[in-house]
């Protein structure tokens, strides 16, 4: 069974919505700057979504007095865009049979097809699988400010949103999804694993469509935690560059809608043709110098797709900008592709490392790379790192043939995931 991508939604430090993100990538405008969301003694750059919680609530039609974590708010914006882009809006969830403006024109998918007519008479089973690493930590930090002064103070409803699953439940409720809801939290590979779980559930006949991806908000806990690991760059990060010294944290959300052919309402963007998750368990926070985990996840994702490594046109690398990660991932690339590594780049110098949301956002970019024939620049690259000598893409390219994109996300503990997206033979419908 083929799994198609039919909806996209994204929020990042370079914009709200797919259109704003594309334009920022096209113009080379990054979202890295000073921390403004909360007071901190750390003077390190981050990538913040340029909207306050109050502005996000207004955008979503949520009363300003309602307690909602920033993680949930970012997720609501991106997931709602993805759901509506797929034509699976509130009406669809309420079982109204109104075709999307992107309804397939190809005769094999029209309402005249008996199989689809029968299927359309039944409500779609729609799931929501969301990834996050911090959950409602921003609200917990706010609660603790009052609580540490007086244990009888603090709003307990802020603590209720602490766990990762709370943001998922809030987003699903906002979308009107209740057929299946779950949360994935495997550090920086979380969103990729959410996408894989959604695909597997469709393949096993458990869902007809699923919204998959991740969301994470910046908070003091995350900032100080990564600072304790001594992997935060005090300047703008430089993935795959000789001078790289660390990463810049970011926040945001990204979601895809996945569907099988039997439930399509619009022309798909592309196919999720391959995926793999491997666990090398080399170190609690580091990757093996030889890139064993990255090599396995990429190799197995490519093998599951049925294509050859030579057919891959572009790689969205994990590329955090830390000395260990980039060297390890570079080694893995050379082990797979030899002297013919495909064009590749990291977008983290645009949006920062968004942790549990990273592959949600970067999967959206990867899908767009196929749909619009685009590859993205690796900002701030000057000199190749001596470990591999690899040179990433440094310019934005558009209008080029891109049929297969490999996208990597590697988490703590050696939880490594790779996704492979491929162009379909179904004629494209309306442009974004």
pLDDT of residue 98: 39
pLDDT of residue 22: 98
Residue 113 lies in a domain: no
Buried b / exposed e over 124-157, threshold 16 CB at 10 Å, is: bbbbbbbbbbbbbbbbbebbeeebeeeeeebeee
> Is residue 118 scored above 50 in pLDDT?
no
pLDDT of residue 348: 98
Measured CA distances, 221 to 134, 135, 322, 363 (Å): 8, 11, 20, 26
What is the rounded average pLDDT of the residues 196-205?
98
22-32 pLDDT per residue, tens: 999 999 999 99
> Is residue 426 scored above 80 in pLDDT?
no
Q: Which residue has the higher pLDDT, 270 or 279?
A: 270
Range of the structural domain that residue 275 is part of: 3-100+118-422
Residue 252 token pair: 């945001």
pLDDT of residue 196: 98
Query: How many domains does one find in the chain?
Result: 1
What is the rounded average pLDDT of the residues 244-272?
96
Three-state SS at 13: coil
Q: What is the CATH number of the domain that holds 391?
A: 3.40.47.10
pLDDT of residue 101: 35
Residue 106 lies in a domain: no
DSSP 183-213: EE-BTBTHHHHHHHHHHHHHHTTS-SEEEEE
> Is residue 271 scored above 50 in pLDDT?
yes
295-316 pLDDT per residue, tens: 999 999 999 999 999 999 999 9
Residue 44 lies in a domain: yes
Strands 374-375 and 344-345: unpaired
335-382 pLDDT per residue, tens: 999 999 999 999 999 999 999 999 999 999 999 999 999 999 999 999
Confidence of residue 190 (pLDDT cuts 50, 70, 90): very high
What is the rounded average pLDDT of the residues 106-118?
37
Q: Tokens 């024939």 label which residue?
A: 373
Average pLDDT, the chain: 89
Residue 355 lies in a domain: yes
Residues forming a β-bridge with 180: 127
Active site residues: 188, 318, 353
Residue 203 token pair: 């393949």
Three-state SS at 35: coil
DSSP 260-320: EGGG--S--SEEEEEEEEEE----SS---TT-HHHHHHHHHHHHHHT--GGG--EEE----
> Is residue 82 scored above 80 in pLDDT?
yes
Residue 429 lies in a domain: no
Residue 108 lies in a domain: no
Residue 198 lies in a domain: yes
Residue 295 lies in a domain: yes
Least confident range of 101-110, 316-325, 369-378, 408-417: 101-110
Report the percent of the chain where pLDDT is more than 90.
77
Three-state SS at 162: coil
Measured CA distances, 85 to 8, 63, 159, 292 (Å): 6, 25, 33, 38
Helix (H) or strand (E) holding 23: helix 18-27
């Amino acid at each position: 069974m083929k799994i198609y991508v039919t909806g996209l939604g994204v929020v990042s430090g370079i914009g709200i919505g797919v259109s704003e993100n594309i334009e920022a990538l096209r113009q080379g405008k990054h979202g890295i700057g000073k921390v403004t969301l909360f007071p901190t003694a750390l003077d390190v750059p981050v990538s913040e979504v340029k909207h306050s919680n109050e502005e996000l609530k207004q955008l979503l039609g949520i009363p300003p007095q309602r307690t909602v974590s920033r993680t949930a708010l970012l997720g609501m914006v991106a997931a709602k865009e993805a759901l509506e882009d797929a034509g699976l809006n509130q009406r669809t969830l309420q079982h109204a049979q109104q075709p999307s403006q992107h309804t397939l024109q190809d005769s094999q998918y029209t309402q005249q097809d008996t199989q689809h007519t029968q299927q359309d008479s039944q409500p779609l089973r729609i799931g929501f699988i969301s990834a996050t690493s911090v959950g409602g930590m921003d609200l917990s930090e706010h609660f603790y400010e009052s609580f540490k002064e007086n244990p009888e103070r603090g709003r307990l409803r802020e603590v209720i949103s602490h766990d990762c699953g709370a943001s998922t439940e809030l987003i699903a409720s906002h979308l009107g999804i209740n057929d299946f809801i779950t949360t994935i939290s495997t550090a920086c590979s979380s969103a990729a694993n959410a996408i894989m779980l959604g695909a597997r559930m469709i393949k096993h006949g458990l869902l007809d469509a699923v919204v998959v991806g991740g969301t994470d908000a910046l908070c003091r806990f995350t900032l100080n935690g990564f600072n304790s690991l001594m992997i935060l760059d005090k300047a703008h990060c430089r993935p795959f560059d000789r001078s790289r010294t660390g990463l810049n944290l970011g926040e945001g959300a990204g979601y895809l809608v996945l569907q099988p052919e039997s439930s399509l309402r619009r022309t798909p963007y592309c196919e999720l043709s391959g995926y793999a998750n491997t666990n090398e368990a080399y170190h609690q926070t580091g990757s093996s110098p030889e890139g064993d985990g990255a090599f396995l996840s990429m190799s197995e994702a490519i093998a599951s797709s049925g294509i050859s490594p030579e057919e891959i046109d572009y790689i969205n690398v994990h590329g955090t900008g830390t000395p260990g990660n980039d060297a390890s991932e570079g080694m893995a690339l050379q082990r797979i592709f030899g002297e013919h590594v495909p064009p590749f780049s990291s977008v983290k110098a645009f949006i920062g490392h968004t942790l549990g949301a990273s592959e949600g956002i970067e999967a959206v970019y990867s899908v767009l790379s196929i749909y619009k024939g685009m590859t993205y620049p690796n900002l701030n690259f000057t000199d190749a790192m001596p470990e591999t000598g690899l040179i990433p893409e440094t310019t934005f390219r558009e209008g080029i043939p891109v049929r297969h994109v490999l996208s990597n996300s590697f988490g703590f503990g050696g939880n490594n995931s790779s996704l492979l997206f491929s162009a379909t033979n179904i004629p494209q419908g309306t442009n974004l």
